[in-house]
Structure 1
Amino acid sequence: MSWREAVLPVRMQRVAVLAPADSLREVLVRVAGAGVVQFEPGGEAEQRLHRAGGGEVAPKLAAQRPDLDLLERTGRADLLAGEAELEGHSAIAVRRGSVAGLAGWCARPDLPGLAEDLAAIGGAVVPLPAPRGVDPPTSLRAGGAVRRSFSGVVRTYGTVAYPDVDPTLPAGVAYVLMFGMMFGDLGHGLLLVLAGVLLAFGRPSRLAKWRHVWPFVTGAGATGAVFGLLYGEFFGPTGVVPVLWLAPLAEPIRLLTSAVAVGAVLLAAAYAVAIVNRWREGGPQLAVYASSGIAGAALLLGIGCVAGGLYLSSGVLAAVGGGVAVVGVLLAGAGYYATTSGGAAGALQSGVQAFDAVVRVGSNLVSFARLAAFGLTHAALGWLVWQGTTALFGAGPLGVLAAIGLFAAGNALAFALEALVAGIQALRLEFYELFSRVFAVEGRPFQPWHVPVVEFPEEEP
């Protein structure tokens, strides 16, 4: 697989599933068993299913045509539900003489196997041109455990448009980075890593259904541990590890500045992906003039250069940045104007939208200061617990016991509270600051028709 294929959704093919009319059921059973075709939009089985009281069952299909009376008498609502679905697809099949066919979508890698399977029973799958103006449904690549673990972040926001880049891996990396910066404590991070390892082994058993997220939990804990080393935090400022970069409570301004710088890098990465997406969605014109395209990227770059020039006392850098920002505003304004009815009203509307784009870029940058703010909160909670622990420790035997209890309970509270807060805030930054640029349109998920096929006797035993 080339790198180009790896960063895009699975390529789809419009297909027609064809079969002799008298063999349509057999062909559809094979298609249902393969579970690789999405058809596009009740018979007798539906009525019998309703009488059998099988409204919410997992459907199954009998390999051979079953006796519906037998299914009803034996209470096989699952097989009735499968027959009802099959009847629904069969009813919309187009028939020409002795041939029946249904149109749908299939992932290209699955086409050869499906074609071979259907040919064995007289059916066929024929590639069709995609309808004009209709994008295929989106199916993201399954990949390994890490990709599957990170995919929940993207699916929670929406479905990636078919032409767009698959943002799963970079989105996951951005999330754990932001989480770690807010959750910076070596001891707490290692506890989260341990939780991820336990999930990987299916422990505790009641959380086994979450086993697939173990790389996500482990990655978040690992970045929290790394930032804990940088901050010199191990269950608070205990002095067990030295400060390798900065102590949050001692240098809050430096931490705030660094958080905004991290945000600028993440926004730049989001714009890079967004430019590719706009180009694939609407060509070079959309990529240049969209506020989430080159126009927005130029505005961000210009603002960054102005800020850098002011910080470094470089008038040249600030002037260049101002010029780049103006170019970005003009490009965005032109893009907005193209969507209006023109005239003075259109110019006014596009001007307001361009001003809003400037404000949004600035506010999005400042929003990343929360990476430092919640990192400071975590450090403050750890400091408070540690101060109470050391104060109690010198108060005799009872004081030692009280200190141990306070240290354990305080760290448990700080761990739970900050894990929840950092998790929510990282998701908020991911959605509102990053995904709002990457996603301009939403796709529709690929939902292939799949019903398990089982053997069922034609007569009662």
Structure 2
Amino acid sequence: MIVKMKFINISGPRDDIDRVTDLYLSKYEIQLESALSELKTVDNLRPFMEINPYREALAQAEQFTALLEDPEQVTPDTDLGLDGMFELIRNTSTDYQSLQEKKEKLKKKIEELRSRQLVIAPFRPLDCNLSEVLNYKYIAYRFGKIAVEYYYKMQKYLMEDLESIFVEGERDESYVYGAYFVSPRDAQKSDAIFRSLHFERIMLTDSYEGTPADAYHKLQREVNKNLNQIEELDKEAAQLLAARAPQIVAAKKRLEELSNNFDVRKMAARMEDNQEDYYILCGWMSEGDLEKFQADIEHDDKIFVVVVDDRETHFGAPPTKLKNPKVFKPFEMYVQMYGLPAHNEMDPTVFVGLTYSFIFGAMFGDVGQGLLLLIGGGLLYYFKRIPLAGIVATAGIFSTIFGFMFGSIFGFEDIIDAVWLRPIEHMTMLPFVGKLNTVFVVAVAFGMGIIILAMILHIINAFRCHDLGDAWFDVNGVAGLVFYASIVATIVLFMTGHKTPGGIVLAVMFGVPLLLILFKEPLTKKIEKRAEGMEESKAMFLVQGFFELFETMLSYFSNTLSFVRIGAFAVSHAAMMEVVLMLAGAEKGNPNWIVVVLGNLFVCGMEGLIVGIQVLRLEYYEMFSRFYKGSGRAFDPYTKTNKKKNTH
């Protein structure tokens, strides 16, 4: 069912808005609308221009909460006042930031050490004391790298002409690293030769001590030392937050509430009257919550509430909030997928729950597999609250019922007797048709009944919306209902061997409704006393109407035949299980139980999915399209506190 909504205006002294929001509005579900937009006829309205004072502290509290190991398991400390919360966040931020600054300094130092490591790393094979080499007075030295191909050329052609010594370090695919040593007298000549070989010099500072390998390992030890200090700082920060976790979690929760309450100002308006400053809030609230709210503020002289009954004074239709019995609650998902009902439309949730489960059970009738769906879906819905799991569980109940009707348990049809019939075996003799599978006949008859029921629902919805044209002359209105019901009655009388009405009666039963459908537009204008003329010529109107009537009659036929799939899937399910049992060798009396189990799981999963989709198709295309528009908008309570209530 759809919860009835009321539009209310709330006002009071401007500086009292936080108290009202925190004390009252946070306890009830209210969808706030922009007061500036809704109350355009009210003079002297202005927006609130205040900055949220809780947002910065809330952001820091959320940051600290996210750093806690398991904040969901922390019991909040509710003894903190508002000043205490701000002081807690401020002190925690200062202490935590101090640790982070130390950590950043260590990180920069590590980066510097690693950059020095990268410089010295290629020269680790050199067996020399760097502090001595870098201070040579009578020997010139050059550290650097040379491309591999030029290094080979140097060794082959120039080594005898070089008056220097090249000591090789590490090498990779592209370069050979090393250093050459030469007397200062020959340094200029050697430099020129090495430059011609594209030797790239690498400058080493005198900060390195010992051999290159010793210098590299010393730097690594310093890196590890700084990494250990960072690890200690992380532990210290974690201990700092853990010690204050109850206060931080409580502060985050409360600041979140206060911040959301303060943001109510975005939807509010200010009004100055006789030097007094007022706030105005407006929005939608359910009748039940409104009664409790009014009782709650009965003795509060600072808050004034006006219930607006005349919908013409505000914009937009009421939002939709659904409230259904728990067993049908999961089926709201299917309704929301199609579109929520408008406030003056019927809620089809119960209709969907009953028809979907019944049709699913008829198409998937098996005691064993139905119980699997019931147990599996029920457990998943109980622990995870997944709507689809609740739908599967409900469908499993009807699958079990139809399993008894068909006498099938995990595909075995010799364990229990069929209460009704075996889908594959039972046939019905029909005039001019001959033998036809009984479940096909019953499926079509059931479809006729469902289509008639959908038409009745359409008529009810049309009258509720005061749409007389749709109610009386639509293809799903009274005219369409009389036409289709007349066809159904005639077919039933003929198939059961009874006399059908005479030709004149049939002409009236079929002809008059079709004429009413054809002239729906002018008849609607007539009864609504509208004087608009026809947009197209009379001839074009009749031609267009004729083809639309022809399409309507085809749709009646095709929509009715769509329900044959119910019987088809009931037969195919039994046939698939016969194949599984045949593969398992059940006919010989000693089946392969592994094949039986895997076959049942496969059929249960694959066919269950297909059947579920086919039933949903029937719901949307053969039923919803006849009576349901789904043009409503969801009821969206403003505060997060209220949204959390809805999830429990």
TM-score by length of 2: 0.59
Whole-Å separation in 1 of the counterparts to 2:361 and 2:291: 45
Shift of 1:356: 2.2
Q: Residue 48 of structure 1 contacts residue 80 of structure 1 at CA under 8 Å; is this kept in 2?
A: no
Deviation at 1:451, TM superposition (A): 3.4
Which residues of 2 match residues 350-429 of structure 1 at below 5 A?
Answer: 350-390=545-585, 393=588, 403-429=592-618
Match of 1:14 in 2: 7
Matched, 1:308 2:492: yes
Task: Quote the residue 2:51 is aligned against.
Answer: 44
Distance 1:34 1:383, change over 3 A: same
Aligned-pair CA distance for 1:375: 1.3
Q: 1:249 aligns with which of 421, 424, 430?
A: 424
Q: CA deviation at 1:64?
A: 9.4
User: Deviation at 1:341?
Assistant: 2.3
Cα 1:441–1:52, aligned 2, differ >3 Å: closer, same or farther? Answer: closer
Which runs of no fewer than 5 residues in structure 1 stay unpaired? 1-7, 203-207, 395-399, 454-461
- Deviation track 1:221-259 (CA, whole Å, cap 9, x = no partner) reads 121122222222222243111233222222462211111
Whether the 8 Å CA contact 2:366–2:409 is kept in 1: the answer is: yes
| Residue in 2 that maps onto 1:264 | 448
Fraction of identical pairs, as percent: 26
1:267–1:433 Cα contact (<8 Å) kept: yes
1:289 maps to 2:473? yes
Moved more, 143-152 or 430-439: 143-152
- How many Å apart are 1:47 and its aligned residue? 11
Distance of aligned partners of 1:370 and 1:336 in 2 relative to their CA distance in 1, 3 Å threshold: farther
Bigger mean CA offset, 179-188 vs 243-252: 243-252
Q: How does 1:43-442 map to 2 (within 5 A)?
A: 44-45=51-52, 52=59, 78=256, 82=260, 85-90=263-268, 92-93=269-270, 96=273, 97-119=276-298, 120=300, 122-132=302-312, 134-141=316-323, 143-199=324-380, 202=383, 208-210=384-386, 216-251=391-426, 253-314=437-498, 316-317=500-501, 319=503, 320=505, 323-336=508-521, 341-344=535-538, 345-390=540-585, 393=588, 403-440=592-629, 442=631
Q: Distance in 2 between matches of 1:85 and 1:369?
A: 56
Q: 1:50 to 1:258 in 2, by over 3 A?
A: farther
Counterpart amino acid of 1:164?
Answer: E
1:354-408 CA-to-partner distances (Å, cap 9, x unmatched) read 33222222211111111111112111111111222236856xxxxx5x7212111
The answer on whether the counterparts of 1:21 and 1:95 sit within 8 Å (CA) in structure 2 is no
In 2: Cα distance, 1:363 partner to 1:49 partner: 62
Deviations 1:123-147 (A, max 9, x none): 1221113333843222222x43113
Matched AA of 2:599: G
Offset, 1:305 = 2.2
Distance 2:458 2:611 in 1: 26
User: Residues 161-203 of structure 1: CA distance to partner in whole angstroms, max 9, x if unpaired?
Assistant: 111222221220000011001101122112222224434653x
- The aligned length equals 427
Q: What SS does the aligned partner of 1:126 have?
A: strand
| Alpha-carbon contact 1:68-1:80 (below 8 Å) kept | no
Q: Does the aligned pair in 2 maintain the 1:40–1:103 contact within 8 Å?
A: yes
**2:601 and 2:425 mapped to 1: Cα distance?**
24
8 Å CA contact retained: 1:179, 1:220? yes
Structure 1: 4+ residue segments shifted above 6 A: 62-72
Which residue identity does 1:144 align to in structure 2?
P
Contact 1:34 1:450 in 2 (8 A): no
CA–CA separation in structure 2 for the residues paired with 1:322 and 1:67: 85
Kindly report the root-mean-square deviation, in angstroms, between the aligned alpha carbons of the 2 structures: 3.5
2:52 counterpart letter in structure 1: A
Residue 171 of structure 2 corresponds to none
Contact 1:304 1:321 (C-alpha < 8 Å) held by counterparts = no
Distance 1:322 1:197, change over 3 A: farther
Matched letter for residue 390 of structure 1:
G
Higher radius of gyration, 1 or 2: 2
User: CA 1:38–1:419 in 2, change beyond 3 Å: closer, same or farther?
Assistant: same
CA distance in 2, matches of 1:306, 1:93: 68
Measured in 2, the distance between the counterparts of 1:229 and 1:51 equals: 59
- The equivalent of 1:3 in structure 2 is none
The amino acid of 2:32's aligned partner reads F
Partner Cα separation in structure 1 for residue 4 and residue 382 of structure 2: 34
Q: CA deviation at 1:39?
A: 1.8
Asked if 1 retains the 8 angstrom alpha-carbon contact of 2:260 and 2:640, the reply is: yes
Q: What is the DSSP-based 3-state SS (H/G/I as helix, E as strand, rest coil) of the residue aligned with 2:592?
A: helix
Distance 1:271 1:66, change over 3 A: farther
- Paired letter, 2:627: V
